[in-house]
Amino acid sequence: MFSWYRGSALTVIYLSDVVESSDQALLLSQWFRRGWTLQELLAAKVIRLYKKDWSPFSQSAAFNHKNVAEILVALESATGIQKSYLKFYCPSVEHPRMKLRWALRRVTKEKEDEAYCLMGIFGFTMPVTYGEGHHAFSRLLMEIMKRTGDATLLDWIGEPSTLNSCLPSSPRCFSDDPILMGVDGPPPPVLSFALAVKVIYVFKGAIRRARDSSHLQDGHNASQGLSIDRSDVNGAPRIASIPSNQSIFSLRRSTSFPFEGSEIIPLAKLLEKPPRPYSLNPEIHITVRCFVHEVLWLYFTPVSGSYYCRADGIQPFSLVTSEKLKTFSTDHRSPSRYLLVRTWDPRLSYDSSHVYHTTMPLLRQRLKNPFCAMLLERCHDGQFRRVSTRKRIVAELELFPPQTYGVRSLDLQ
């Protein structure tokens, strides 16, 4: 359907509930609350908006209402979509979380159409099977995840899919605004992923030389805000060692049980060759690469209706969930039932240009900043299940991470 509207000479948009030409009228129009009209608006190159009495929404001399600045401003306000995308949109999987949020307040008659109406937006197709319910959206998300390594797709709240606890059940699970947590935002939409890959390929040699020449300068800039010890192994600047009486998170049991066979990827390797944040397999299991912290104690506070938690190396935090969790305080001799994890985000390894690798001090500074976390519950088969929450879990490290801090791979079901 997207290609059909893209090939049209003119798309007429009849707003049956709009009687006056105002931003507020567009904001309240039901046309902007329907799932299928999203791709009609984005795909069409030439549009004309008409009110209930079939009079033009704008009296501008411009025939194409996408060329009328006032209308673009009103459409941006009504849809939450940037004017640059409204004027001309090219289907792609770039910035998927942002695009999924475009469908937040849109409704469809059939549950499956929440996913099917977005296929054209992302530029791919998948089998249409009415009757599968929210599994359609889970399949859509998995197709997007196969094509992109965007860690923000794991930043959601609400009801999980029955296919996998790591997948949300609808676009409404992305209702929270994106939170950068110390990571620079995505590049401007005009820079496509394909173009970025070509740039990186062409300048690969230059990037390597630039990293060597700018290493000391970046390390000097970062050291102004951090205490630096330049006697690191492999010569990289590092944060000064922490006294033994201020020992950073020991990850007591997280370094062994239950991670047999799960090798840790230290910070140095994460900088050298940033891995994808997740991988998928045919059994609908998702392997997530994440920083792992064992939950030491957890109890419920009836007054606030939330759980109060403490994880190894993490400042105390709270979470709100409709699930009934098992409260406990560990005795440090048996493994905890729950893990607090931070999904690895490759953007942590790059500077604001998204081309050059960042420095070790800056990576550690970013890791020390508050971050979005997931609570995982250990299952009997050695895999993990994500605990659904009604609000984001925002956590923060107690101290700056040491050189041994790293990422592990966990299988979620």
DSSP 299-361: EEETTTTEEEEEETTB--EEE--SS----EE--SSS--SEEEEEE--GGGGB-TTSSSB--HH
Cβ-proximal residues to 52 (8 Å cutoff; 6+ apart), any chain? 15, 16, 17, 18, 19
More confident residue, 313 or 231: 313
Q: Of 182, 413, 408, which is closest to residue 277 (Cα–Cα)? A: 408
| Mean pLDDT value across residues 351-365 | 79
* pLDDT > 90? residue 167: yes
In whole angstroms, give the CA distance from residue 365 to residue 222: 9
Residue 150 structure tokens = 């965007």
Q: What is the pLDDT of residue 323?
A: 93
Q: Left, alpha or beta for 251 (phi > 0: left; psi -120 to 50: alpha)?
A: left
Write out the DSSP string of 88-138.
Answer: -----SSSHHHHHHTTTT-B-SSTTHHHHTTHHHHT------TT-TTHHHH
Q: Give residue for tokens 């062994």.
A: 256
Q: For 12-64, write each residue's pLDDT tens digit.
A: 999 999 999 888 898 899 999 999 999 999 999 999 999 999 999 988 889 99
DSSP SS3 for 160: strand
Q: Cβ(330)–Cβ(252) under 8 Å?
A: no
List the helix and strand counts (H, then E) for the chain: 13, 15
Q: Cβ(150)–Cβ(97) under 8 Å?
A: yes
**358-367: string of b/e by CB count within 10 Å (b at 16+)?**
bbbbbbbbbb
Q: What is the pLDDT of residue 67?
A: 93
Q: Of 362, 301, 311, which is closest to residue 340 (Cα–Cα)? A: 311
Q: Quick one: which H or E segment has residue 292?
A: strand 286-301
| Mean pLDDT value across residues 176-204 | 46
Q: Give residue for tokens 């992302």.
A: 122
Residue 209 structure tokens = 């030389």
Helix, strand, coil: what percent of the chain each, to 5?
30, 20, 50
In the chain, pLDDT over 90 holds for what percent of residues? 62
Beta partners for 266? 406
Mean confidence (pLDDT) of the chain: 81
| CA-CA-CA-CA dihedral for 244, 247, 252, 256, to nearest 10 | -80
Q: Cβ(144)–Cβ(93) under 8 Å?
A: yes
